[in-house]
Amino acid sequence: MWFHRKGNTIQGIAFDCGTSGVRAALFSFLQKDVLTKPDVSEIIRIPFAPAAYMDARQLKQKTREGIREVIKKLSSSFHPHEIMVGFSSPFYVSKTIRVSHPRQDPRLPITNEESQALAAEAMRTFEEEAEKRIADRTVVTFTAMPLKTYVNGYRVSNPVGMAGKLLEASFRFEATKSNVFDDFKKLFAQHYERAAFRVASVALANFQALRAIYGNEQGFLIIDMGAEVTEIGLTIDGALEQVTSLPLGHMVFIREMAALLGISLVDASFIASRYAEQTLESGKAKQLGPLIAEFQDTWRKKLFTILTAYAQHHEIPTHVFFTGGGVLPFHKDIFLEDAFRPLFYGKNPMPELLAPDTLDHQFGKHMFQSPSDFALASLTLLGARTVV
């Protein structure tokens, strides 16, 4: 029996390592063969102080410090079995890889070896591309997810045993620098050497949480706005087809506000929070009007560029979810401009603010609150294997 298990109860901790801070959720679940609903006992938030500038090196350092602060706050009797770490886009690269295999004898059944060879080919292709994009040229692939498989152009759940001339498949891969992966793994091993350490992107965790609700039939967009970046994930037919990182988060708005009003970044962050909560006094809100309009216009144009690229290969779904700590009230009318209508084939998009209560039925109990907690809730479900 593991020393950190109580009977059949397994303890775990999930970390959301974003660009605005580190969030952690302590959870437990019953060890069963079927999917289980975790209970969340505590949430710890370590926000980063607003900074005039933050590069990848500074983000990594702040994240490590934030994780250490979380661990300091934990009881010495807490020994997790599962550690689930969620990376935001500055920490990883990702891509969907499609491969095909013309078969010499289409009458023979497809073997497990053929299917595995296709997956291995896709991973080699991804890692070769990833190593070109990453400075030190060494990567650790932490996600290798099969998305869709086709035999003779027909989608199938499992090709093994089927006959056919052409075998095709697509896979979702995510990787990070080997030194980043090793540093985080060693950091946790210093405190919890017997815990299982897993990594996933926040985008993937959000996708899997929503797929558990909506199934494989419905497509959707997830727009996750953080402090420094916005991630835009496209799901089609139950598969995460593409994730694009937009280097435009709410800290851009806060820095410009601080400069406009001649105030500190901390004060600007406070005002932005009040504005997002719609509790800012009217005079101050009116003063911010032109700045908000400018930020909204810039953000809308960049989003339009990304969705235009998506539309070249996919029909953009009308179900659009906004989430993250940087979401401002303008999400409600972001698609009102006529320019967006052709991207949705003349249909009206349905933007929706995504909060953790969307996932209520997936938990036994939890204490997640605002849209900024949605990613942490999704990572908790992933850590407890409630969503797979």
Torsion of CA 77, 79, 80, 86, to 10 degrees: 90
Residue 280 has pLDDT above 90, yes or no: no
Structure-model confidence comparison of residues 294 and 165, the more confident one: 165
- 85-95 pLDDT, tens digit per residue, is 999 988 999 99
Which pLDDT band, with edges at 50, 70 and 90, does 4 fall under?
very low
* Strands lying side by side in the sheet with 239-246: 239-246, 230-236, 220-225, 319-323, 350-353
Domain spans of the chain, in order of start: 5-91+178-215+356-383, 93-176, 220-353
Q: How many CB atoms lie within 10 A of CB 186?
A: 10
Six token digits for residue 148:
């869709």
> Which of 128, 77, 79, 122 lies closest to 101 in space, CA to CA?
122
DSSP 282-343: HHHHHHHHHHHHHHHHHHHHHHHHHHHHHHTTSPPPSEEEEESTT--GGGGGTT-SGGGGGG
How distant, in Å, are the alpha carbons of 43, 64, 122, 195, 335 from that of 192? 19, 15, 34, 6, 47
Looking at residue 142, its pLDDT comes to 96
300 token code pair: 């809308």
> What pLDDT score was predicted for residue 24?
97
Burial code of 353-382, b = ≥16 C-beta within 10 A, e = fewer?
A: ebbbebbeebbeebebeebbbbbbbbbbbb
At residue 53 the predicted structure's pLDDT band, cuts being 50, 70 and 90, is confident
Can you name the residues that pair with 226 across neighbouring β-strands? none
pLDDT at 388 over 80: no
* Of 100-109, 144-153, 162-171, 274-283, the least confident: 274-283
Task: Give the predicted TM-score (pTM) of the model.
Answer: 0.91
* pLDDT of amino acid 1: 33
- Classify domain 220-353 at the CATH superfamily level: ATPase, nucleotide binding domain (3.30.420.40)
Task: Of 28-37, 70-79, 127-136, give the range with the top mean pLDDT.
Answer: 70-79
Confidence of residue 329 (pLDDT cuts 50, 70, 90): low
Q: What is the mean pLDDT of residues 304-319?
A: 91
Q: What is the pLDDT of residue 5?
A: 47
DSSP annotation string for 199-218? EEEHHHHHHHHHHHHHTTT-
Do residues 87 and 180 make contact, with C-beta atoms less than 8 angstroms apart?
Answer: no
The pLDDT confidence band at residue 298, using thresholds 50, 70 and 90, is: confident
CA 371 to chain centre: 13
CATH 1.10.10 correct for 93-176: no
- Residue (of 86, 244, 259) closest to 176 by Cα position: 86
pLDDT of 173 reads 96
Give percent of the chain above pLDDT 70. Answer: 93
Q: Bridge-partner residues for 185, per DSSP?
A: none
According to the CATH classification, is domain 5-91+178-215+356-383 in 3.30.420.40?
Answer: yes
More confident position, 349 or 382 = 382
Which residue from 185, 226, 182 is spatially nearest to 203, judged by alpha carbons? Answer: 226
Looking at the DSSP bridge assignments, the partners of residue 148 are: 170
User: Is the distance from CB of 386 to CB of 38 less than 8 angstroms?
Assistant: yes
Per-residue pLDDT at 2 exceeds 50:
no
Q: Hey, do 5-91+178-215+356-383 and 93-176 end up sharing a CATH topology, with the first three levels equal?
A: no
Residue 313 has pLDDT above 50, yes or no: yes
User: pLDDT tens digit string along 351-376?
Assistant: 888 889 999 999 999 999 888 899 99
pLDDT at position 34: 61
The mean of the pLDDT values for the chain is: 88
For the chain, give the number of residues: 388
The pLDDT of residue 387 is: 63
Average confidence (pLDDT) over 276-305? 84
Distance from C-alpha of 159 to C-alpha of 83, rounded to nearest angstrom: 33
